[in-house]
Each structure stands twice: as structure tokens, then as C-alpha cells.
């Protein structure tokens, strides 16, 4: 088991300090435990990261080991909010010392302004933490401009989380009773139709729910890579949506939405898809390939599994890391490094997030502690996956992508018009 998981992910997802002025936290804050408070380390992250990366546990353990330190956990709303930190950091002020980011590309916006540390050159992170401990692709996905501005903490991949009981009831299994993986998006649509159930005019079993909310970029880019073999146009920089594969997928998505076979619930509520899936109401959920682990806690581990999105076995999906950055105006950069090394990359955080929430560790040795064997279904997807483009306007891309595609899916905007809007949007981005 150890050899398999290490091999799988090793090949896969593969101090000069300046003082700060004081500023009020831009998000909710809470003390994670007790500490004398002579030193205060402020850690920012999205609410889901606080829970699923066990930040409060990490804070309590760190304070126990360092009684003179108080760790404060702060939450911010979503990935695009990270951009707001620039305002404080350019003034030499910061409400946080360490920030969790949902994809290494979100650090790009701070690099040109010289606002965050290079962990290697500036903070000597690897002088007392062996770089070979990391899954190679995870550390590589965290490098920007050949520098280590981000330290990875977990990794994820876009996939299909399924209800295996529903698949068996629908006959969508092979001779051994294992769930069938849809070969293309037309077959995905046919699967969803077969799995979809309506009783007395009410949907009692949703065929498929696709993440078209604030993480729509993960869905769309994963699908683009899997279907078209690349994310980019001929220049190798600009994302490309004007191709036969994406046009066909968009047409299928519109058809599925119009018929109700594909739910629109993620439009307004990012968490609605996973909540419905965990409640046993959704047969297929396309988003981070970690939701099946969560759902297994309520539905039973034998009733859930994970499959690659169509084409990912051949072409890969989109893999990405959640990592941490440290602003140069933090007065506690050395303390932040200690917290990362001792807690975020430690056994409790790394193995708990894997086995309870399906977030993939970034440290090789912890894959031996994986409890579920179904990760092998994603072997080829993981091996061949790519990561997000490194755009300065990544936050704008996500917002505009969500707006364009949600309008297209809900209003039935023509495929030609939608593709042109996407191409024009990409052209306008600061890359």
C-alpha cells in the first residue's frame, strides 16, 4: 500500500523581516486555544480550510509546544478575497502572518509587487526541512517563476464523486459489479438521465450536479484538459475555449440543465452539491475528487466511490495545491515557518485531512496511512494532470468565467456567443 500511494502521487500532482503597522482583521477571528500571548501568530484561511485542514487542532498543538505563543485563526469568504490583502501589505501593514490560499496561482498577484517571501531564498525553509519529503509534483505546482513563494499543504484533483448504490440500481456496473466510468460527456449525460428520478413532479434523485459555483475554474479547466489535451491556445499562455471538444461539452451541459438532469443548485450555493450528495440525493457530483470520502461518513463507505472525468484517463485533469504564503510585512515570519513545519506538514493534519476529507497529502510518507483503496481509480488522471495557469488576473478570470458560463447555462446563450465571450475575456486578462 505504501509503495503504491507513494509511487502514485510522487509521479502525480507532482529573513529579513520588516515591521508592520496594526490593522483590524479583514475577516472573522478566533483564538484556537490558550497561550500566554507574548507572541501572536495570525493565520488566515477560508472557513472550509479551517475545518478540513484542521487549523484549530494545529493551533492548539502549536500553543501547547510553545506556551509563549497565541495563535489566532481568521477566516475569509472565498479565494478572490485574497486579493484584498494587497491593500494592507503595500502599506506595510497586515492582519495576518500566514495565509492559506486555494491554489498556488493566487500568489502570483503579490509577486510582482514584492509582497511575499520566497520560502527558499528568504526564509531558508529547506535548511531544516528535507525537500525530498514532499511529493515532487506538489512542491513543483507550488513554484512560481522558479521560486518557492508557496509551501503546499494539501492537493486535489477534479473528478466524479459517485453513489455506487445508485449505479448498481441503474445497472451501470461491469460484470464484477464495479461502477462504469463514462467514456465521454455524451455518455455522462446518458448516465445522468438513467440515474435521474422524478416522483410526483419532484426530483427525488438528481442525475448529476456539477460545480459551477466559485470553484467553477477547477471544473472547467479540468474538463478542458481532459477533453482537449491542453488548456491553452497555440501561444501556450492564453486559455483556449474555441475548440470542438469544449463546444460539444458546453452544448451537452446546456441540454442537461434545460432538462433538469444536471442540477443548477451550485449556481447560488457552492456547498449545495456536496451537501445533496452527502444526503444521498445525487448520483454523480463533479468537483474536487474528495467529496466521496466525506459522504462515506454518512452514506457508508461501500456506497460511495470516485471516477475520472471523461478523457482524464488519457489526458489528465487539473490538479492543484492549497498552500501557504507569508507576507513580507509580517513581524512573525520565523514563527510562521515553525507552524508550517511542525503542524501543517505534520502527521495529524496530513493524515486526518486525507482520511476524513479526501484531501491528498503533500508529504510522501503519509500515503501509507490512506484507509480507502479507491484512489487507484484516479491513478492515470493524477499522473497526467496539470495545474492552473499563473495569471495575475486569476481572481478576475474566476469571476468572469462564472458569470459567462452561468448565464450561458441558465439562459441558453448560443455556444458560439459563449465561446466568443470566453475568448474575449481571456484576451483581456493580465497574464
pLDDT in tens, 77-103: 888 788 899 999 999 999 999 999 988
The pLDDT of 242-252, averaged and rounded, is 98
Q: Do β-strands 151-163 and 319-325 pair in parallel, antiparallel, or remain unpaired?
A: antiparallel
Q: What is the mean pLDDT of the chain?
A: 90
Instruction: Classify residue 232 by its DSSP letter.
Output: B
Rounded to whole angstroms, the Cα distance separating 136 from 156 reads 15
Between the alpha carbon of residue 414 and those of residues 147, 251, 372, 385, the distances in Å are 42, 9, 42, 30
Instruction: Classify residue 125 by its DSSP letter.
Output: G
Between the alpha carbon of residue 296 and those of residues 154, 169, 278, 304, 381, the distances in Å are 20, 18, 8, 6, 22
Q: Do β-strands 29-31 and 69-76 pair in parallel, antiparallel, or remain unpaired?
A: antiparallel
Q: Do β-strands 98-101 and 39-46 pair in parallel, antiparallel, or remain unpaired?
A: parallel
Instruction: Classify residue 183 by its DSSP letter.
Output: S
Q: What is the pLDDT of residue 3?
A: 39
- At residue 14 the predicted structure's pLDDT band, cuts being 50, 70 and 90, is very low
pLDDT in tens, 209-238: 999 998 899 999 999 999 999 999 999 999
* Least confident range of 255-269, 377-391, 402-416: 377-391
pLDDT in tens, 112-132: 999 999 999 999 999 999 999
- At residue 278 the predicted structure's pLDDT band, cuts being 50, 70 and 90, is very high
- At residue 37 the predicted structure's pLDDT band, cuts being 50, 70 and 90, is low
- At residue 105 the predicted structure's pLDDT band, cuts being 50, 70 and 90, is confident
- Alpha helices for 272-367 (secondary structure H): 272-278, 291-299, 312-315, 333-339, 347-357
Is the pLDDT score of 429 beyond 70?
yes
Closest CA to 399 of 9, 122, 79, 161: 79
Is the pLDDT score of 111 beyond 70?
yes
Backbone angles phi, psi at 95, to 5 degrees: -85, -5
- At residue 28 the predicted structure's pLDDT band, cuts being 50, 70 and 90, is low
List Cβ neighbours of 304 (8 Å cut-off, separation of 6 or more).
161, 162, 163, 164, 292, 293, 295, 296
Instruction: Classify residue 310 by its DSSP letter.
Output: T
Residue scoring higher pLDDT (8 or 121): 121
The pLDDT of 418-424, averaged and rounded, is 98
Task: State which H helix or E strand residue 56 sits in.
Answer: helix 55-65
The HSE-up count of residue 365 (CA atoms within 13 Å, CB side) is 8
Closest CA to 125 of 364, 367, 324: 324
* pTM for this entry: 0.77
The pLDDT of 371-388, averaged and rounded, is 84
- At residue 16 the predicted structure's pLDDT band, cuts being 50, 70 and 90, is very low
Instruction: Give me the domains of the chain, ranges plus CATH numbers.
Output: 2-156+320-383 (3.40.190.10), 158-318+389-428 (3.40.190.10)
Is the pLDDT score of 18 beyond 60?
no
Rounded to whole angstroms, the Cα distance separating 296 from 57 reads 23
Amino acid at each position: 500500500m505504501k509503495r503504491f500511494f507513494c509511487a502514485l502521487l510522487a509521479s502525480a500532482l507532482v529573513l529579513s523581516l520588516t515591521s508592520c503597522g496594526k490593522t483590524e482583521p479583514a475577516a472573522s477571528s478566533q483564538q484556537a486555544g490558550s497561550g500566554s500571548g507574548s507572541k501572536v501568530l495570525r493565520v488566515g484561511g477560508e472557513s472550509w480550510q479551517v475545518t478540513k485542514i484542521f487549523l484549530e487542532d494545529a493551533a492548539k498543538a502549536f500553543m501547547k509546544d510553545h506556551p509563549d505563543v497565541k495563535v489566532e485563526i481568521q477566516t475569509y469568504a472565498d479565494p478572490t478575497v485574497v486579493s484584498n490583502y494587497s491593500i494592507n501589505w503595500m502599506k506595510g501593514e497586515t492582519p495576518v502572518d500566514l495565509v492559506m490560499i486555494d491554489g498556488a496561482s493566487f500568489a502570483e498577484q503579490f509577486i510582482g509587487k514584492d509582497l511575499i517571501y520566497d520560502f527558499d531564498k528568504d526564509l531558508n525553509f529547506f535548511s531544516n526541512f528535507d525537500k525530498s519529503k514532499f511529493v515532487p509534483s506538489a512542491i513543483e505546482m507550488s513554484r512560481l517563476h522558479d521560486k518557492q513563494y508557496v509551501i503546499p499543504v494539501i492537493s486535489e484533483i477534479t473528478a466524479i464523486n459517485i453513489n455506487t448504490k445508485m449505479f448498481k440500481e441503474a445497472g451501470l456496473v461491469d460484470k464484477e459489479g464495479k461502477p462504469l466510468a463514462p467514456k465521454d460527456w455524451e455518455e455522462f449525460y446518458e448516465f445522468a438521465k438513467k440515474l435521474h428520478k422524478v416522483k410526483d413532479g419532484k426530483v427525488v434523485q438528481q442525475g448529476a450536479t456539477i460545480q459551477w459555483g466559485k470553484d467553477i475554474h477547477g471544473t472547467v479547466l479540468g474538463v478542458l484538459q481532459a477533453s482537449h489535451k491542453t488548456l491553452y491556445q497555440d501561444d501556450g499562455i492564453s486559455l483556449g475555449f474555441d475548440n470542438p471538444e469544449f463546444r460539444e461539452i458546453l452544448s451537452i451541459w446546456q441540454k442537461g440543465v434545460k432538462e433538469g438532469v444536471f442540477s443548477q443548485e451550485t449556481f447560488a450555493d457552492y456547498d449545495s452539491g456536496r451537501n445533496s450528495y452527502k444526503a444521498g440525493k445525487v448520483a454523480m457530483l463533479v468537483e474536487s475528487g474528495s467529496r466521496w470520502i466525506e459522504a462515506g461518513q454518512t452514506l457508508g463507505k461501500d456506497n460511495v466511490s470516485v471516477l475520472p472525468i471523461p478523457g482524464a484517463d488519457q489526458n489528465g485533469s487539473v490538479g492543484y495545491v492549497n498552500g501557504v504564503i507569508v507576507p513580507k510585512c509580517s513581524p512573525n515570519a520565523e514563527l510562521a515557518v515553525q507552524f508550517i513545519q511542525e503542524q501543517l506538514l505534520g502527521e495529524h493534519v496530513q493524515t486526518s485531512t486525507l482520511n476524513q476529507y479526501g484531501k491528498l497529502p503533500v508529504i510522501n510518507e503519509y500515503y501509507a496511512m490512506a484507509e480507502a483503496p479507491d484512489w487507484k481509480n484516479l491513478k492515470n488522471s493524477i499522473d497526467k494532470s496539470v495545474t492552473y495557469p499563473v495569471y495575475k488576473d486569476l481572481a478576475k478570470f474566476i469571476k468572469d468565467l462564472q458569470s459567462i458560463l452561468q448565464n450561458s447555462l441558465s439562459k441558453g446563450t448560443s455556444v458560439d456567443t459563449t465561446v466568443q465571450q470566453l475568448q474575449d475575456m481571456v484576451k483581456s486578462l493580465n497574464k
